[in-house]
Amino acid sequence: MKMQDRATVMLEALPYIQEFHGKTILIKLGGGVMEKEKLLDSLLRDIVFLNNVGMKIVIVHGGGPEVSEEMRKLGKKPKFVEGLRVTDEETMEILHEQLAGKLNKEIVLGINKHGGRAVGISGMDGNFIRAHKLRYKTTTSKGREVEVDLGFVGEVEQINPTVINYLVGTGYIPVIAPIGIDGEGHSLNINADIVAAELAAAMHAKKLILLTNVAGVMRDPNDEKTLISVLTVDEAQKLIQEGVVKKGMIPKIEACLRAMQGGVERCHILNGTTPHVILLEILTKGGVGTMIERGK
C-alpha cells in the first residue's frame, strides 16, 4: 500500500479515537472465540490497539465449552437447566481451574504478548463481585412452580469496581473470570454476560460489546439477511415479548438491557469470529452486527 494511503486510513479513524478517548469499553469474550487460537490472538491484538490509542478496556470472559470438555475428561457429565450450568462442588473446582486458572491466564498472556498489560482476576478477588445463591424457579409440566437446586450458581448482589477502576486508570486491562463470592466466602458461578453487563453498569462504561458466534440479532436465525443493525431498547423488549428472539439470544439481549438501564450508552452483539470485528466496529464508519441504543 502506498504511504499516503496508510496515512489516509489512520486519519479516518481519528474522529472515533477522539470519541472514545478515556472511555470505558467492556468486552465480553465468548462465542467460540477462545477455542480458536489464531482468532483469539488477533482479537487480543486489536484490543491492545484500542487500549493503546486511549480507551479503557475491561474484559470479562466465559469458558463454557472448556469447562464442559474438562468435565467430560474427568468422566463427569455437564448438566444444564435452561442454559444454566448445574454446579456442584467438584464442578466449581473445575471452574476455578479452567476459568480463573487456564483461560484467564491464556488471555492475560495473549494481551501481554502484544505489548498490553493485562491483569487477570476473578470476582472473588477483593470480594469485588458480591453474589448470593440463585434461587432458581421453574414451572413443572403440571404448572406447579418449583425451586430447582442448581448448586453453586450465583446472582450478582453488588459490584465494587475500586480495584478495576485503579487498574484501567493506570493503563492495565483487567481480565475477569465470572466467579462471585458470597458473604461466607464461598465462590459462585455466574453467567458471564450478566457479569459483563453489571460491571459495565457499575463502571459507567460507554459501550458493552458481547461477542457471540452469530452475526447479531436476526429475525430468522438461519438467514443472515434478516440481521437487525440497530435496535432501540423498546424494540428489543418487544422482540423478546413477541417471541421473535429466541433461546440463546434472549439472555444476551437481557444483559444489554440491564447494562443500559445502568447507564451504559450503547451495547453491541457481534460475531467474534469475523476478523477484526471490534476494531472495525469502533474505529470505522461501517457498523457490523446489532447495536442496541437508547432510542429517542
Other Cβ atoms closer than 10 A to 140 = 9
Q: Hey, what amino acid is at 231? A: L
Cell numbers standing for residue 103: 483461560
Q: Which of 30, 31, 62, 151 is an active site residue? A: 31
Does 115 bind a second copy (CB under 8 A)? Our answer is yes
Q: Which of 86, 112, 232, 244 is the binder for a second copy (CB under 8 A)? A: 112
Does 166 bind a second copy (CB under 8 A)? Our answer is yes
Identity of the residue, 110 or 272, whose beta carbon is nearer to a second copy in the bound complex: 110
- 270 with 209: CB under 8 angstroms? yes
Identity of the residue, 31 or 110, whose beta carbon is nearer to a second copy in the bound complex: 110
- 193 as an active site residue: the answer is yes
User: What are the E-state strand segments in the chain?
Assistant: 24-29, 56-61, 80-81, 84-85, 118-122, 129-133, 136-139, 145-148, 154-159, 173-177, 179-181, 187-189, 207-212, 230-232, 266-271, 290-293
For residues 199 to 238, the per-residue mask of contacts with a second copy, x marking binding by CB under 8 A and - elsewhere, is ----------------------------------------
Could you give the CA distance from residue 291 to residue 208 in angstroms, rounded to a whole number? 10
Could you give the CA distance from residue 242 to residue 46 in angstroms, rounded to a whole number? 37
Does 117 bind a second copy (CB under 8 A)? Our answer is yes
Does 165 bind a second copy (CB under 8 A)? Our answer is no
Does 39 bind a second copy (CB under 8 A)? Our answer is no
- CA 40 distance to own-chain centroid: 14
Does 106 bind a second copy (CB under 8 A)? Our answer is yes
- 113 as an active site residue: the answer is no
Does 11 bind a second copy (CB under 8 A)? Our answer is yes
Q: Residue 62: which of 25, 33, 91 has the closest Cα?
A: 33
CA distances from 268 to 76, 189, 228 (A): 35, 24, 11
- 105 as an active site residue: the answer is no
Does 75 bind a second copy (CB under 8 A)? Our answer is no
Q: Which of 14, 81, 146, 230 is the binder for a second copy (CB under 8 A)? A: 14
- 64 as an active site residue: the answer is yes
- Report the sign of the C-alpha dihedral through residues 231, 234, 238, 240, in that order: positive
Q: Which of 127, 165, 232, 237 is the binder for a second copy (CB under 8 A)? A: 127
The binding site for a second copy (CB under 8 A) comprises: 1, 3-7, 9-15, 17-18, 21, 45-46, 48-49, 52-54, 93, 96-102, 104-106, 108-110, 112-115, 117-122, 124-127, 162-163, 166-167, 170, 172, 179, 181, 184-187, 275-276, 279-280, 283-284, 286
Catalytic residue ranges: 28, 31, 64, 193, 252
